[in-house]
Amino acid sequence: MASSSVAKGSVVNFDLSPEEIEKMIKKMVHDEHDLYDRVASVENPTFSNVIVPLNRLYNLNEVGFLSSCFLRHVSTSKEVREAGERARKLWNELEIEYSSREDVYQAVLKVYNNKEEMDALSQEDKRLVEKMVRSYRRYGLMLPQEKREELHKLKAQLFDLEVAFSRNLSNSNGVALFSREELDGMPEDYFDDRNTEVVDGVTKYFVTTKYPDYYPLLKYAKLESTRKTLFVVNNTRCPDNIQLLQDAVKIRRQKAKLMGYKTHSAFVLEPLMAKTPLTVLKMENDLRNKLVRIGIKNLSELEALKKVDMEKTGKTYDGFFQWDMSYYMNLANEQKHDISDNDVKKYFPLANVLRGIFDIYQNMLGLRIIKVQDAPVWHSSVEMFEVWEAKEDKFVGHFYLDLYPREGKYNRVGVSRIRPGYEREDGTREYPVTAMMANFAKSTSKMPALLTHTNVVTLMHELGHVFHNLCAVTKWASFHGTRVERDFVETPSKMLENWAWEPEVLTKLSAHYKTGEIIPTSMIEKIIATKNDNAGLTNLLRVFRGLYDLSIHSISNGEVDVNAHYNSLERDITLVGCGDAGTFGVATFGHLMSRYDSKYYGYLWSQSFSADMFATRFQKEGINNPKTGMDYRNEILRPGGSRDAMESLEKFLGRKPNNDAFLKSIGL
């Protein structure tokens, strides 16, 4: 990976003040209003005088909107983050207004109804018009004016609820104090540079609910009381979010009924691959029925381990709970395979893993990745990269990595589109820009940032989204990159997780942080042997989340208590509950309020496709086969949403997909 001191292509400006963000968004809103009026006054609507200007302005304004909204997740300035939220609200109000412009809709509809012109359009142009007409209809423009106004009010209310929910999540960070004894079992590096406070003469360590603190503690802390304490702190955060979700579910149901749909899920799923709630329900329940027997066996093994611990300490066994899961799964792995995450991560310094993964993507996709020195970024820990074609002097795009936690930052893992790629008016290309956000453990004064194998899988997955955004080549921004059907969007990334289970890949990514030695073959074999350990319980958790999402959004009459339903369904499906701890995990289920409502099933749905893709092509033809890699780039990544996802799948597979490889991959 070479270095560059000057970023190629146009670089997005992240050094924006709150005033500059506000000014930029207001100008965009003004330009959109002006264009709507002009388009509505066109006497003879055509593709060139209606569709093209609307979407060219959309191309341009996406950059300002996405960059300002992105800053609300990553800026170190609270004022800038708040300005990003206000910008998002203004843009949402504009979308609501746009969706109410019947005069603009009529102009678009005239183009759509002109069969001669539609037949002459390219596939992508024709799809664009069809998508616009469908969107207008789903905006409610077929409704009488009175109902349309009611729908717009509901949309505005829903947006405010979703923003408040997400803001609460970002701003809430639970903290607990533990003595060294209470943290028995934690690896030594967990204490490196950790803040402390003396309480009644005892040194206590600050432990937060941020990713690098929370998940290791649940995995390694020997005392159940310690695990339970932090689990409860995390799962009693954001109590206001319960009512926000409760209200959102009600509004979504009202919206769906106004639109003539029985439920919100029926409305949401109609344009997706699954099409109907019944299809999703069948998929989830079929999988649940297959998994439950394995899950019961997994749970029995874990319960036995806890009972032994209780006997050793003279305590009475009182059940197996959510805060026990990670600890006893890890203990079972250590006993069964003689392997520890703490030993494994020493071979995976983040910097080395990144270099290895970059090599994999470069070879697979025919690309060159160049780090930009002295890059214009929003925080000193952020890195910027250029991507070029490997065999020609052709620029592809930029991406950023923001991998460590800090105050006010997005507290999960995700990828944001900052600028879509598209064809400019003069025929040249605007280059895509995208960023990955994560919360991996930072380096300390004693060691570099190290990754567990689970972290390696996560990094492989999220970079899959990055390269989906970079490798797509579409004419219009609205089809670029991950702008595919929501229940397909995880497919490329889920497929790329498979590389993290291949022996030659793990060898390539490894280098002991002290000695530089590659990971021993025996350790690789042990890692791979753990792949489907506790697969029943692990996948039942995913089934639970998908079914919970579907169920609260499939109520046609009456109310559902979102918190009580969450807790009871969790116990029922995952086989493990929280006893009388009084937790409300639903308050931190961020997907439900970030446009994954009625779509969480997409993770398992996508996994079925991804397993088929990997087994059918890469496993048979070789994970380093350049032709297979380029077929994947050209048939899956390049089209973005410019054609149906099923068409892309069938072109890559050479047939219709099936779930045989998926069931095999999870041990069924």
Crossing angle, helix 562-574 and helix 535-552, to 10 degrees?
A: 150
478: DSSP letter: G
Structure tokens at 32: 């959109």
Query: What strands, in cross-sheet order, belong to the sheet with 367-372?
Result: 2-4, 367-372, 383-389, 395-402, 433-437, 414-419
- Of 450, 455, 423, give the one whose Cα is nearest residue 438: 455
- Of 512, 479, 503, 497, give the one whose Cα is nearest residue 348: 512
Please report, as a single letter, which amino acid is at residue 135.
S
Contacts (Cβ under 8 Å, ≥6 apart) of 369: 1, 358, 361, 362, 385, 386, 387
SS3 track for 161-182: HHHHHHHHHHHCCCEEEEECCC
What letters, b where the CB count within 10 A reaches 16 and e where it falls short, cover 576-587?
A: bbbeebebbbbb
Contact, 269 vs 280, CB < 8 A?
yes
What whole-number distance in Å separates Cα of residue 79 and Cα of residue 85? 10
Given 162, 462, 490, 497, the catalytic residue: 462
314: DSSP letter: T
Active site residue 462: yes
Which residue matches tokens 């959510």?
322
Contact, 71 vs 378, CB < 8 A?
yes
Backbone φ and ψ of 182, nearest 5°: -70, -20
Q: How many CA atoms lie within 13 A of 239 on its CB side?
A: 5
- Helix or strand run (H / E) with residue 22: helix 18-40
Give the residue numbers marked as catalytic: 462
